[in-house]
Amino acid sequence: MSETAANTVETSRRGMTVERRFTSPDVHPFDAIEWELRDAVIGDPANPAFEQRGVEFPKSWSQNATNIVAQKYFRGRIGSPERERSVKQMISRVAGTISTWGRDGGYFASDDDGDAFEAELTHILLDQKAAFNSPVWFNVGFEEHPQCSACFILSVEDTMESILDWNTREGMIFRGGSGSGINLSNIRGSTEHLSKGGYASGPVSFMRGADAWAGTIKSGGKTRRAAKMVVLDVDHPDIESFIWCKAHEEEKAAALRDAGFDMSIDGDGFTSIQYQNANNSVRVSDEFMDAVAAGIDWDLKARTDGSATKTLPAGELMRQLSDAAWRCADPGIQYDTTINRWHTCPNSGRINASNPCSEYMHVDDSACNLASLNLMRFRGEDGSVDVGEFEHSVDVVLLAQEIVVGPASYPTTEIGENARAFRQLGLGYANLGALLMSNGIPYDSDEGRTLAASITALMTGRAYRQSALVAGAIGTYERYPENREPHNEVMRMHRDAAYEIDGAAGDVALLDAAKRSWDEAVELGDEHGYRNAQATVLAPTGTISFLMDCDTTGVEPDFSLVKFKELVGGGQMTIVNRTVPMALRTLGYSESQVSQIEAYINETGTIIDAPELSGEHLPVFDVAVGERAISHMGHIRMMAAVQPFISGAISKTVNLPQTATVDEIADAYTQGWELGLKALAIYRDGSKTAQALRTDAQEEKAEPAAEPQVVVQPAPPRRKMPR
């Protein structure tokens, strides 16, 4: 095997050895930084939505991070002596528990290795280099049998018992602070007969009840709503009803808003709108997309006998999908053939669904725990990525995620068995948009895409390298032997893609490290196998991005340089991009020029027409919405650049302006398929009555865009009940 600059973990048949890179044995990570007491207050100080006074935080953490962490992740009843009041308590609870699990599970070659792992993990969390998904912060070290995974995929059969059981299983997942996805295509359509006479209800009808449960159960006992994904295959008899169900509800939401009802996220009026707790996605095959391109007909097929229940032009069905998404941002699209082409475990079952945000995709009745790296914490003074620190952090965090799989609890026996048999992990990153901006690189540029591809390839290659090393020390995942050939073939597909990255405009050292990591991952995997069926995803990193003080989430550009976030449970946060000054200095502006431009952004909410700013530099500051919004193809090309290096998929919104057309949305869905994505979701600005992120310009009510002149699937007739 070739030498590596950061060979931080070695294998032993009795466990792993862990190098100290960030810490020393004689100084606790908590003692290496400055701390201070603060007040965490969200909302109006006179009547706050949340407050906790005298909390202890690292001096380097922002006030926004303080507010979010205290509200969401400090455990214990507010006001009680048991309530956490310090980040020291929170991180000790999580890192200490995981380290104890690792020691008890025989993961470390020696006590010193266990101590080194705990110290390195503590530093990584404390320095905001990485963060686990919310259920880990909610539950680890607090619950006796903590639910640690954020992402679940369920299954359902065409029986009433199975359908009711689906609702129960979802409720248990939501209670633990996680989300789930399910493909309902096994349920017969509403035009199909029941065995004892009459017609079936159909999946869309059952979705209504499941949505109500999701809206009732708050995740993890916190204020966050439950999250879920519902998928339906494009040949299902009820696919048209599925496509339109949320669009019809959005019409109702607009009518209630115009009638004076409170339609904010927590408003009384909004709670009456159905299907809003789920993201909906249509599963399309290459066969369907080819039919759209060829302009030929498409059959909808009965679940019971496979007969055609309806035939319509494939292009018309794509038009309906795009039109509904124009109206309400749903449904999204998932590319079934591509998803299963990159599946590491096809001999154990196909991939039918995803988690709520479409990044986790694996077999039914399975789970994935997530963690994300903060890319800005690995940026050197010259703008380059510190490869050694990045690789070491991947090693430590992935090992922590792997340790969590065994002791964690799962909502059903089947999910627990599959989680431990496949050991799916979802390491990802946040702050890509900020990293690009800080280096003066436009998000929508070849240079930006090359940097993103190189980072992603290095992360996943290093993750699978570590997974192979753990397999050598502990053993492979249980279902690896039956999937050895397809799993190792997918590894070679990833490696080959890394060698296809055009490094002409990129960081040569970073790309070389990425290629090396994949060579080592393939070589070690051929020797030892792998400990994990899946290693990486690109998650939305919503709340944990605040914990890490990120300017941008996941693989996204910034939404806007100044934005306002409505918080579920009450209150609003003003979020100002803090990367702009660094970007301006990178581009050669003086301190006085930087100050003038900063003041202009704070006053106007935009950088357009800022004093002293050169027009040629405007693309560096392009964002998701507004006058200089990144085009939908700018988003899709970025996704295409990183998708070949992700085990799962990418949670990302392709933002379109309010003026976007149905044809542009159809084009986005087609381009996503042609460029090899696994899933795609779009959001036309202002298409939802309740919108969590807004810019200052959106505070003033804009004229709604004209609806396209197409025939809408009629809603079923309704009869009023007597008073």
One-letter amino acid for residue 355 of the chain: N
**Closest among 459, 531, 522, 532 to 491, alpha carbons compared:** 522
Per the DSSP assignment, residues forming a β-bridge with 151 are 179, 368
189 exposed, middle or buried (CB, 10 Å; 0-12, 13-18, 19+)?
buried
CB 416 within 8 A of CB 155: no
Q: How far apart are CA 290 and CA 389, in angstroms?
A: 45
CB 431 within 8 A of CB 438: no
One-letter amino acid for residue 411 of the chain: P
Q: How far apart are CA 520 and CA 491, in angstroms?
A: 11
Residues 6+ apart with CB under 8 A from 27: none
| DSSP-based helix, strand, coil % in the chain, nearest 5 | 45, 15, 40
Name the 3-class secondary structure at 552.
coil
Residues 6+ apart with CB under 8 A from 196: none
End-to-end CA distance of the chain: 78
Name the 3-class secondary structure at 198.
coil
Q: How far apart are CA 426 and CA 360, in angstroms?
A: 7
CB 54 within 8 A of CB 41: no
CB 474 within 8 A of CB 13: no
CB 686 within 8 A of CB 343: no
Q: How far apart are CA 581 and CA 423, in angstroms?
A: 42
Q: How far apart are CA 305 and CA 310, in angstroms?
A: 14
CB 561 within 8 A of CB 575: no
Q: How far apart are CA 698 and CA 534, in angstroms?
A: 40
> Does an H or E element contain 680, and which?
strand 679-684
- Catalytic residues, by residue number, are 355, 357, 359
Name the 3-class secondary structure at 313.
strand
Which tokens in the block code for residue 397? 């965090």
**Closest among 585, 590, 568, 565 to 576, alpha carbons compared:** 565
Which tokens in the block code for residue 557? 């550009």
- Phi-psi group of 623: left, alpha or beta (phi > 0 → left; psi -120 to 50 → alpha; rest → beta): beta
Q: What DSSP designation does 160 have? A: H
CB 391 within 8 A of CB 517: yes
What is the phi/psi pair of residue 664, to 5°? -65, -35
One-letter amino acid for residue 709 of the chain: Q
The C-alpha R_g of the chain, in whole angstroms, comes to 25
One-letter amino acid for residue 83 of the chain: R
Is the bond leading into 407 cis (omega within 30 degrees of zero)?
A: no
Q: What DSSP designation does 538 have? A: B
